[in-house]
Amino acid sequence: MEHGLTDPLGTRPRRRVVVTGAGGQLGRALAEAFAGDDVVAFAHSDWDVTHPAPPLGESADLVLHAAAWTDVDAAEADPQGAAAVNVGGTRNAAAIGAPLVYFSTDYVFDGAKRAPYVESDGANPLSAYGRSKYHGEGAVGAAGWIVRSSWLFAAWGTNFLRTMLRLGRERDEVAVVDDQRGSPTYVGHLAEATRELVELPFGIWHLAAAGDCTWADFAEAIFEEAGIDARVRRIPSSELARAAPRPHYSVLRSEKPEAPRLPHWREGLREALSRLP
Ligand SMILES: NC(=O)c1ccc[n+]([C@@H]2O[C@H](COP(=O)([O-])OP(=O)(O)OC[C@H]3O[C@@H](n4cnc5c(N)ncnc54)[C@H](OP(=O)(O)O)[C@@H]3O)[C@@H](O)[C@H]2O)c1
């Protein structure tokens, strides 16, 4: 295989794996999933990716680039700031010179389709964040995997799961958007799938949880699984008046038969709940 990471006899020495954004929800899960390797984890305070990488000492075998500007609404007011991190930062991560995994998003699509988006579908981002992530894909270079995933959640960090757990405990009723459909993806499952992916050829790969739902469905499942007695009031996106438009439909599937398959989002939800602090 062209990137030389395959080792069918299990004789490979530990790889030197750089993780960027290691303090974020996915970065933390990646550092866990690759713990059998020699992980060099850079949180934001260790390396601001808008600057060139700090000296690494020895060379790296693999870069897992999870650092990103992820505030979708704030990117509308500062598209250059978002691009500096998501495009410029990716260029700097690629300049390390090792094969790189770039994590992209379902928000590169406009949501006009009503069947799952596959790798060969054309991108048409609706938001400044989506555009910055799409242009970031172009900064990866030839030696890289572009992983598009969606609606990430973890037992840590800032995400919909943790917001719903807080709101559901505070209120009798929580208003949640019911006109956006996607696949909520547990970072632990995505990190495990990334381990499988780096044995496969470079290119674009859609890796998201099996199953799909709306945010309102997801909120109901969260309350049900967590035993929270709150109602979900289903609302249209227009009621939230957020700065950035989101696709109404952004379910991702892979058209590649060898693509790693992730468990169902509800399984991911149960696993995240079991790991809450
Ligand atoms: N969250 C989702 O629903 C979702 C969906 C699809 C794809 N993705 C992609 O998946 C990847 C991981 O996302 P995530 O959910 O783990 O996001 P996250 O929790 O926000 O983590 C991103 C990390 O990047 C760091 N960061 C921001 N600016 C940086 C900079 N200039 N230099 C270095 N680090 C910087 C952040 O640090 P601070 O917190 O200190 O700023 C944070 O620790 C991103 O590429 C994201 O675009 C996310």
pLDDT in tens, 215-237: 999 999 999 999 999 999 999 99
Using an 8 Å Cβ cutoff, are 105 and 244 in contact?
Answer: no
Mean pLDDT (whole number) for 227-256:
97
**136 CA closest ligand 1 atom index:** 45
Using an 8 Å Cβ cutoff, are 252 and 106 in contact?
Answer: yes
Catalytic residue among 102, 107, 129, 134: 129
First to last CA, the chain: 41
Contact 71 CB / ligand 1 (< 6 Å): no
Contact 33 CB / ligand 1 (< 6 Å): no
Residue 103 has a CB neighbour count (10 Å cut-off) of 28
- The yes-or-no verdict on residue 148 having pLDDT over 80 is yes
Composition of the chain by helix, strand, coil, percent to 5 = 30, 20, 50
State residue 37 phi and psi, 5-degree precision. -100, 180
Task: Show contacts of 242-246: CB within 8 Å, 24+ apart.
Answer: 242/73, 243/73, 243/74, 243/76, 243/77, 244/72, 244/73, 244/75, 244/76, 244/126, 244/127, 244/128, 244/129, 245/126, 245/127, 246/72, 246/107, 246/111, 246/126, 246/127, 246/180
CA distances from 11 to 8, 98, 193 (A): 8, 20, 22
- Tens of pLDDT, residue by residue over 175-225, are 999 999 999 999 999 999 999 999 999 999 999 999 999 999 999 999 999
pLDDT band at 5 (very low <50, low <70, confident <90, very high): low
Mean pLDDT (whole number) for 130-147:
98
pLDDT of residue 1: 35
Q: Is 249 a catalytic residue?
A: no
Using an 8 Å Cβ cutoff, are 104 and 136 in contact?
Answer: yes
Q: Which of 152, 190, 251 to mutate to test the pocket of ligand 1 (most atoms within 8 A of CB)?
A: 152
pLDDT of residue 58: 87
Mean pLDDT (the chain, rounded): 95
Mean pLDDT (whole number) for 63-88:
98
- The yes-or-no verdict on residue 90 having pLDDT over 80 is yes
Mean pLDDT (whole number) for 19-26:
98
Read off the pTM.
Answer: 0.96
Structure tokens at 232: 């979900």
Which residue is closest in CA terms to ligand 1's atom 2?
152
Residue 1 has a CB neighbour count (10 Å cut-off) of 9
pLDDT band at 2 (very low <50, low <70, confident <90, very high): very low
pLDDT of residue 4: 44
| Cα 98 to Cα 257: distance, rounded to the nearest angstrom | 26
